Structure 1
Amino acid sequence: MTEFEYKLELAKKAVTKGKLSRRDFTKFALAGGLSLTVADSLFIRAARAEAKQGGHFRVGLGHGATTDTFDPATWAHGMNFAWGKGLTGAPLVRIDQKGGVVPYLADSFEPSDGAKKWVFKIKKGVTFHNGKALTADDVVGTVNYHTGPDSKSPGKAYLANVSAVKADGADTVVFELKGADADFPYNLSNYQFPILSIVDGKPDLSGNGAGPYVLDGFEPGVKVHFKRNPNAFAPGNFDEVTQLSIQDPAARTNAYLAGEVDFADKADLKTIDMLKSAPDTELYNVSGYQYYNAPMLVDTAPFDKLEVRQALKWAINRQELVDKVLFGYGKPGNDSPIASAMKFATNPEPVYTYDPDKAKSLLKKAGMENLKVSISAADAAFAGSVDTALLMAEQAKAAGVTIDVVREPNDGYWDNVWIKKPWCHCYWGGRPTADAMLTVSLAADAAWNDTRWKNPRFNELLPQARAETDEAKRAAMYAEMQQLIHDDGGQVVLMFANYVGAMSTKIGHGDFNSDNDHDGGYMYDRWWFV
């Protein structure tokens, strides 16, 4: 190590401790022969090396609805997402930056009986925001709330394998499963599963959680304000957090450029250069499990005909969508919802490429030449949804298909359009395991089965794969399931999209999670102001 390199390391440590200014560090680095760009990058990394407390973190989100509540059984979009993961709520476990499952409210978890039983030890001394102590009974009551016979919670599908959940003293919870599940703890990381305060057998749905922030103001569909929980077992770094619902991509970009928010998600990729060149801005660009989808209701004409579903898949030029809608920030889908980076992912054959002649042939076989269909689109589904639908309509003309694009309102899209209209757009943020992704989106009885697809072989394989401990056999089962989805299902996985947003360089952070947007939902308590 040269003398300059040694002094540079000392200078970086001084920056981390707040003892050296940006100007003085830059002067030193330039004098040593480094470029201004390199000097600036080194300063930012050093400044972010140590988390600090304080400040008001404001975020602009392309999510939110006037129907939002703090009942986790109703949560369905990206504003709700963090409520259960890193704001008011606290789940038993979390997903780390490497995709592993780690304890959070739990101190530990252990399998027994061939992974048919799981024992969770609960952290001692944890309290809800109102001061009530958290016990194993709260965990049991939370699970029963989502799994009860009248429950319409989307989380119910994740817990379908649970036959019983019992408290064993104040700090131990035992899950008994119908069938073995080596991945079971991952299911409890889902954002619908913050542990609720149970009083007289009833869950508190007011936002009174055990998380790092306390609810301090709520205007559904507009904004939510939180303050740091002074008694949190895992404190957040910010003094305050405000989530703003800004569903229009241009308005969200303008809010960021005007300094009204410190982070904006779902960047409008048509104007990404504006964000990339904005002062004091870092592009949040993470390749993960998110995909943009066009689900068809397979129990509704004309999508109840297999040839129609397959024809539409061949009539869409997905690479063109990636190029013109994502501007390269992603890759084409092939109708398996399992991202290529996930364990057990395959790429079923034949790969759906743009082939209007094949689409025509399938429609002729179905007796449905000159097919006319409608597709519902809105930026609430994903940024660029309307542009995507218009491109799809133009592409399909070569196959003799007329697609009428219905522009839906952003507000209420998830309540009034998704799983209600025969063909629409949606996005899936991804899930940490293949089993979780397939269970919540395609299992026959899943609340979010947005194609209403009920393939007998798929539903036979799903619990078998979950219980299989032989990795090779398990991989073969997941490969067969993905092929079934590809061949028979109603999902049109248009493209896997990077999580792209804009963040101020004032924000410090570590490595990002790739399992979902917003650093896996944990940005509110992981990040800090430098």
Structure 2
Amino acid sequence: MMPTTHPRRRAALAALAGTASLTLAACAGTASSASDGGHATLSWATSYFPTHWDPVVGGSGAQFRELALVYASLTRTDEHGNAVPDLAKSWDYDAAGTQVTFHLRPHLTFSDGTPVDGAAVKAAIDRAKTQKDSALFGDLTSITSVTAHGLDVVVRLGQVDYQIPQLLGERVLQVASPKAAADPAKLDQNPVGAGPFVVSRLVPGTKVTLTRNPHYWDAKDIHIDTVELTSAPDAATVVSGLQTGAYNFADIDPSQASAAKKAGLDVFVQPGFNAENISINIHKKPFDNPKVVDAVRYAVNRQEFVDKLTFGYGEVTDEPFPKGYVAYDPQSENRYPYDPAKAEQLLAEAGYRPGAVKVDLVIPAASPEAEIVQSQLGAVGIGVTITVDKNWATPFFAKDLALSLYGTTGRDSAVQTLTAHFGPNGPLNLSSPYEPAGFEAAVAKVRRTPLGSPDYAKVLQAATRTGLQSRALVFTYSDPNLYAKSKDVSALPTNPGHLDLTGVTVGGR
């Protein structure tokens, strides 16, 4: 298999976040002594070591899971994907649905001693909306203003939007100390939050040591004393690191799952919303012809991606949501089944002879996924030239490419996922400002529907169905959040899209 950028790693690249290599010899200490003397240490090797520790800059890619070690949010996600209290103990909407007030827990402080109050949360939201290098401003467009009254945070909205408690979780609003955030550049490598752990030592791009935060609101349920987060070496050496005790926890590539199991490690899939797609710009030839886009849709054999790239751990998908999730639309399932003969027919109807269509597929790094796309499209007469551009993010987000690949880690708010992919200003919509007919109206209806309404699922799925009319994306497969751990690390809560260490023990402690 050629060198590749893992699909979720591409999502991190899109957030201008990368990874660094570290040899096993550079790892100080071993996980085998993780709980010696009653001191529980989680030694975690990650492929998503944060480049940015300022959550406004680095919180939108896959690395938000690592940043959540330091930062808490207004809400967090439970095992059902619902928003539940975090820094906010409760919240309520006004009668119109255009204002939501979050009530913060009393007596909380950031690790620098600054109070966690309404003013701190207001500062976090305002900074996410206005900071020049914010990766989050596009997610907060519903919010027109924020006011603070002691421990209350009043969020005023430009439209009815009952998604806000889902939105303001750890994916979008990890709250930093306003004192530390006064110097964003310093915060970026010296994080200060009110989360379960406090940074004691950070080597940028390489390793960070975190200690249990005794002032965290749920400290009684945090049983790990120290987390040693290390930038993983290449995928082939992670399992050996787990075997030798250099680590006791790691995110792994599916290609390493079999070796990890044979080594006696626990291998598990943490639920998530990861979805891969072929991104199309309908403003550029040949994709300005809808028949060519449909030809691509029918040329895709999704099962091949699953078999060759996920080693059976992934699933075929033609939506940005997993089956069983409230936003997944059963009516849209398999709308464009694999049918290469139909793809060839559509190209002929579009006026193209076999082999006449030539396109560049621009990606950030060599990828077997790109080779599969090249092969499948080539089989129906679409010639694909793979072009690697390390600065791919610039033309992608400028919407200058005709064809690319993208992988998303998903969002806690289903509406946020929909607008990111299908909205006229969606960062994952390569065809901006194009959007499918009726999309904004369908999304507005979801926003107006309370999460507890009996109509919520029906309204949300209708919005998904409308979004999937978009000619800008062809979803292919979902890749797993795959992890391996030693037997002395207990099971993790199965909160979709997140890594929650609440209740987790090492060595029974």
**TM-score, L = length of structure 1:** 0.78
Determine which of 260, 271, 276 is the counterpart of 1:275. 260
**1:73-112 map, 5 Å:** 73-83=57-67, 85=68, 87-112=69-94
Q: What is residue 116 of structure 2 aligned with on the other side?
A: 134
Please give the secondary structure, in 1, of the residue aligned with 2:218. coil
Q: Work out whether 1:426 is the aligned partner of 2:393.
A: no
Q: Work out whether 1:163 is the aligned partner of 2:139.
A: no
Q: What is residue 29 of structure 1 aligned with on the other side?
A: none
Give, in whole Å, the separation in 1 of the partners of 2:290 and 2:120: 46
State the Cα deviation string for residues 394-425 of structure 1 (Å, max 9, x = none): 2222201222334566xx77678677654333
Check 1:62–1:414 CA distance in 2 against 1; reply closer, same or farther (3 A cut).
farther
Give, in whole Å, the separation in 2 of the partners of 1:95 and 1:241: 22
Q: Work out whether 1:55 is the aligned partner of 2:40.
A: yes
How far residue 353 of structure 1 moved from its aligned partner, in angstroms, is 2.2
- The higher radius of gyration belongs to 1
Q: What is residue 28 of structure 1 aligned with on the other side?
A: none
Give, in whole Å, the separation in 2 of the partners of 1:203 and 1:464: 40
**1:454-473 map, 5 Å:** 454-455=434-435, 457-469=438-450
Given that 2:271 and 2:494 are in contact with CA atoms closer than 8 Å, whether structure 1 keeps it comes out as: no
Check 1:56–1:416 CA distance in 2 against 1; reply closer, same or farther (3 A cut).
farther
Please give the secondary structure, in 1, of the residue aligned with 2:478. strand
Give, in whole Å, the separation in 2 of the partners of 1:181 and 1:71: 23
Given that 1:295 and 1:491 are in contact with CA atoms closer than 8 Å, whether structure 2 keeps it comes out as: yes
Please give the secondary structure, in 1, of the residue aligned with 2:295. helix
State the Cα deviation string for residues 105-145 of structure 1 (Å, max 9, x = none): 11211222143221111111111111112221111111111
Give, in whole Å, the separation in 2 of the partners of 1:54 and 1:191: 30
Q: What is residue 327 of structure 2 aligned with on the other side?
A: 344
Determine which of 252, 255, 259 is the counterpart of 2:238. 252
Q: What is residue 386 of structure 1 aligned with on the other side?
A: 367
Q: What is residue 238 of structure 1 aligned with on the other side?
A: 224
Paired AA for residue 216 in structure 1: S
Structure 1 unpaired stretches of 5+: 1-51, 380-384
Paired AA for residue 135 in structure 2: P
How far residue 278 of structure 1 moved from its aligned partner, in angstroms, is 0.9
Please give the secondary structure, in 2, of the residue aligned with 1:522. coil
Structure 2 unpaired stretches of 5+: 1-36
Q: What root-mean-square deviation, in Å, do the aligned CA atoms of Structure 1 and Structure 2 show?
A: 3.0
Give, in whole Å, the separation in 1 of the partners of 2:421 and 2:98: 23
Check 1:60–1:297 CA distance in 2 against 1; reply closer, same or farther (3 A cut).
farther
**1:184-223 map, 5 Å:** 184-199=164-179, 202=182, 205=187, 206-223=190-207
Percent identity reads 23
Number of aligned positions between the proteins: 459
Determine which of 403, 418, 438 is the counterpart of 1:438. 418
Paired AA for residue 521 in structure 1: L
Paired AA for residue 373 in structure 1: V
Q: What is residue 528 of structure 1 aligned with on the other side?
A: 505
**TM-score, L = length of structure 2:** 0.81
How far residue 448 of structure 1 moved from its aligned partner, in angstroms, is 4.6
Please give the secondary structure, in 1, of the residue aligned with 2:202. strand
Please give the secondary structure, in 2, of the residue aligned with 1:492. strand
Check 1:147–1:308 CA distance in 2 against 1; reply closer, same or farther (3 A cut).
same
Check 1:293–1:250 CA distance in 2 against 1; reply closer, same or farther (3 A cut).
farther
Paired AA for residue 448 in structure 2: A
Check 1:64–1:377 CA distance in 2 against 1; reply closer, same or farther (3 A cut).
farther
